[in-house]
Amino acid sequence: MSQQLGGQPIIIMREGSTTTHGQDAQNSNFTAARAVATAVQSTLGPRGMDKMLVDGIGDITITNDGVTILKEMDIEHPAAKMMVEIAKTQDAEVGDGTTTAVILAGELLKNAEVLLKQKVHPTSIAEGYRMAAEKSLLLLDKYAITVKPTDTAMLKKIAETALTGKNSDVAKGHLCDIIVRAITFVADADGTADLAHINVEKKVGGSIDDSALIEGMVISKDRAHPSMPKIVKDAKIILLNAALEYKKTEVNAKINISSPGQAQAFLDGEADMVHSMVDKVIRSKANVLFCQKGIDDVAQHYLAKAGILAVRRVKKSDMDNLARATGAQLVNSVDAITAKDLGAAGLVEEKSLSGDEMIYVSKCKNPKAVSIIIRGGTEHVVDELDRAIHDALMVVSVVVAGKKIVPGGGAPETELSLRLREYAATVGGRNQLAIESFASAMEIIPRVLAENAGLDPINMLVDLRAAHESGKKTYGLDIIAGKPADMLKAGVVEPLRVKTQAISSASEAAVMILRIDDVIASSRSAAPGGMPPGMGGY
């Protein structure tokens, strides 16, 4: 990159750097961002298609989850990477609506390009888009319907909408029941539900119908010793964060042994130390022990003789969830065990699932942590089911916390499009053109839903607009009937936060890309190990 100064070129950037100015930079960014939106467009809605992604080492992912597709794609262009960030933010915040957010951002940029050709300044468009996004959030809040966290029928409909279009369609009713029960168990008094307290175990084998909710924890471990009982009913559980093994000295010490008797006495002393530790566990009247650290052979022998089922080297996260599920307190020393620290479960047993041994801690009374076992015929089915269940768990938890929903099927987008056009007329000036463009972009969602279902998008949009103009605010696109229908009656509902987050993320990203008028790319640095220029030779 160089500048002319009095006829003399002044080089200000390293050789190999490139710059793209003005209209060229904007066109490049818009094209890249819209290409990303187009890549996921066909996956939207109940009739959306799947993508097969093959990575560099040949691993296959089959999915129609927007964020998974974009994460797996090897994207180079900086503006396209910003579109991927929209999907990641949407997924982290609300778990669903990733495809909607990306498609919306792509359409906002497409409409902005038209305005730029009409000589509307990017700042005016950006200002209009911000005003439209703020107005949209206010309109949606008024449009939303309040639901009670105890309304399980409505929560199941929300889960069902999140699962629709995924491979899990075949067992939707069963899965929705699992999802809503899981959230109901782990939700705190204020309505917040941390998904870290729902342990999801994926096991290939069986069918999707074999997926189950365990009212307690499932841990991917086996018993510490084969002589220990496989099944323990009315379990009294200790959670121990200390090793049941001989304690080595903290400092280097030398022990001089001069006879075989002394060696045996030393070894017996070690065994006695471990025996006394195990005695403290036995005296607590516990019959199940989960240890975060190691249990040595001697301790295993004594525990097995006492009929205690012990599991060693359990993960910290599993220990925390076991405490929530059983009511046990995590104990950091064998000497500190008291009767109050013990937890309870109706049943603890070791089971074999798809060839792997697992410990089931079930029939817990009011567990605040639960497990979901996901089953399916192939690894790809199980992986996609895991993604679908994660999305559904997220949206149900968002509704339990936020208590507000909106109809699906393109209903809120159609309503927003009409109301934003009315709002634009009151604003005037160049911002009005940008707000009208924003309103037009909203209609991309019902349009794509119609296209993916093989319906005529123009006819569907006209019918939807007519329904909303006549006051039918909850009318969206009924894919099966091929006409507008009441989405609330049909049970097609989504959390309000999915929509507000999608609109916020899409508008912010579109404004950021819109305001870029120069792309300055540095030259790629030399490979590691190469000599700096001018250093080759003497």
Place of tokens 């009511």: 327
**Strand 475-478, strand 483-486: pairing:** antiparallel
Among 393, 370, 455, smallest CA distance to 198 is for 370
For residue 358, which of 342, 343, 371, 345 has the smallest C-alpha distance? 371
Chain-centroid distance of CA 298 in Å reads 43
Q: Which two tokens stand for residue 401?
A: 């916390």
DSSP string, 180-217: HHHHHHH--TTS---GGGEEEEEEEBS-GGG-EEESSE
- Tokens coding 297: 């052979």
Question: Which of 63, 99, 164, 414 does the annotation list as catalytic?
Answer: 99
Which one from 50, 96, 383, 391 is the annotated catalytic residue? 391
CB 162, CB 96: distance < 8 Å:
yes
Which one from 65, 222, 383, 478 is the annotated catalytic residue?
A: 65
- d(CA 64, CA 45) in angstroms, rounded, equals 10
Q: Active site includes 38?
A: no
**Strand partners of residue 518:** 21
Residue 500 among the catalytic residues:
no
**Gap between the Cα atoms of 439 and 420, Å rounded:** 6
The two tokens of residue 327 are 């009511």
- The residues with which 201 forms a beta bridge, in sequence order, are 373
Listed in order, strand segments (DSSP E) in 242-301 are: 288-291
Is the torsion defined by CA of 337, 343, 346, 347 positive or negative? negative
H/E stretch holding 72: helix 66-72
Residue 292 tokens, joined: 């975060």
Residue 98 annotated among the catalytic residues of the structure: yes
What is the SS3 string spanning 471-522? CCCCEEEECCCCEEEEHHHHCCEEEHHHHHHHHHHHHHHHHHHHCCCEEEEC
Q: At what angle do helices 379-402 and 496-514 cross, to 10 degrees?
A: 100
Active-site residue, selected from the candidate residues 61, 98, 100, 500: 98
Within 13 Å and on the Cβ side, how many CA atoms surround 46? Answer: 15
Residue with tokens 């640095």: 525
Q: Tell me the two tokens of residue 236.
A: 């009294």
CA 400 to chain centre: 17
Confirm whether 150 is a catalytic residue.
no
**C-alpha–C-alpha distance, residues 498 and 375, integer Å:** 28
**Which residues are annotated as catalytic?**
65, 98-99, 391
